[in-house]
Amino acid sequence: MSHDQNFKNLILDYPHQALAFFAAEEAADQLSGAEVLPIRQEQLKDRLGDRFRELDVPLLVRWPDGRREALLFVLEEESDPRRFSIHRLVHYCLDLAELYETERVVPVVIFLRGQAPRRELALGTERHAYLHFDFITCELGAIAYERFRDSDNIVARLNLPNMRYAPGHKVDAYARAVRGLVDLEEDPEKRLKYIDFIDIYADLDDNERASYERDYPQEAEIMTGFAERFIEQGRQQGRLEGRQEGKLEGKQEGQAAILLRLLQLKFGVVSKAVRRKIEHADPQTLLVWSERVLTASGIE
C-alpha cells in the first residue's frame, strides 16, 4: 500500500481543502482568492552524481491581489512515525527556500498512525541557539471524528476513517465519509477514485459491512450505484482492450479487474482461491458474477 501516493493524489486534487485541514493554523482563514500551485518535487542537485531530495507535496500559495506575500507549504505524509526524520525535513525546506529565494516556508507533516516524534530541532550550545526549526503536525489518529463528521471540507470528510472514534462508531465514520464524497464532489470519476480511498482506510470486516448496509441504506445504495458504474466501465474496458489487442484476453482481464474491485468494495479481502477462479473464468461468466455482486449477501 503506497500511502504516500494516496495522500499525494488527495492533496493535488483538493489543494485548498487540504491546506485548510492539514495546516489550519496557517491556512484555514487565509486562502480566499489565493492560487495554490504544485511545484516540482525533485530538488535541484549541486552535482549530477548527488542523490536528490524529493518532497511528498510542495505547494506554492500566491495572492494575485498582492495582499500577502507568497507562501511555500511543504507537506509530507508519514504512515510510520519511526521513519520520520526532522533533519531530512529541514533539508527539504532549506532547498526550497534557496530555490525560490524566500524565507516564507511552512513545513507540515501528516501522521497517519501514531504520535509525532521529535517536533523541534535546535542547533547551538548552552550559550546560544543558532538554528531553531519546528513544523505543523496533523496527527489524524488523535482527531475526534465527531469534529468533522458534518464538515464541508472534502479532505476532512474523506479522512474520517483515519480519525479517532469509539469502536462502535467505525461504521458511522465510514458512512459519513461516503456521504461527504457524494455531497461535496460532483465529478463521477473523482467519486470513483475516492470511494477507493475511503474503503482502503476504513477496512471494514464482514460484520461491519453487514451493519453498514443495514443501518445506512442510503449510503449503501450509493455504493451500489458506484458498483453499477464499475460494471459498465468493465464492459467498456473489456471491449476496448479486446479491439485494441485483438484478443479475448484483453476483454477477460478488464472484466476480471473490475469484478475483483467490486468484491473488495462489498466484502473486503478477496482470498487467493477466489482470485484464481476469477482469473480463469471466461468473459461471460465474469459478467454474470459482476451483476450478482449487487444483490449477493456473501462472496460465495
CB 174 within 8 A of CB 161: yes
Element (H, E) at 129: strand 129-134
Between CA 227 and CA 260 the distance in angstroms is 11
Residue written as cell 511552512? 106
Between CA 165 and CA 141 the distance in angstroms is 9
Residue 283 pLDDT: 81
State percent of the chain over pLDDT 70.
Answer: 84
Q: Which of the four pLDDT bands, split at 50, 70 and 90, describes residue 273?
A: confident
Kindly tell me if the per-residue pLDDT of 53 is higher than 50. no
Which candidate, 98, 11, 112, places its Cα nearest to that of 59?
A: 11
CB 255 within 8 A of CB 287: yes
pLDDT in tens, 10-37: 999 999 999 999 999 888 677 878 899 8
pLDDT in tens, 172-210: 999 999 999 999 999 888 888 898 899 899 998 889 988
Can you spell out the DSSP letters for 264-298?
Answer: HHHHSSPPHHHHHHHHTS-HHHHHHHHHHTTT-SS
Cell numbers for 67, please give them. Answer: 495582499
Burial of 47 from C-beta contacts in 10 A (0-12 / 13-18 / 19+) = exposed
Between CA 72 and CA 62 the distance in angstroms is 9
What is the DSSP pairing of strand 129-134 with strand 120-124? antiparallel
Angle between helices 283-292 and 248-267 (to 10 degrees): 20
Cell numbers for 185, please give them. Answer: 464532489
For the chain, helix, strand, coil in percent to 5 are 55, 15, 30
Between CA 85 and CA 189 the distance in angstroms is 36
pLDDT in tens, 126-163: 899 899 999 999 999 999 999 999 999 999 999 999 99
Q: What are the two backbone dihedrals, phi and then psi, of residue 157, each rounded to the nearest 5 degrees?
A: -65, -40
Which candidate, 18, 1, 8, places its Cα nearest to that of 41?
A: 8
> What mean pLDDT is predicted for residues 205-229?
80
Query: Residue 138's beta-bridge partner residues?
Result: 110
Ordered by start, the domain boundaries in the chain are: 3-142, 204-292
**3-class DSSP assignment, residue 53:** coil
Torsion, CA 200, CA 16, CA 144, CA 85, rounded to 10: 70
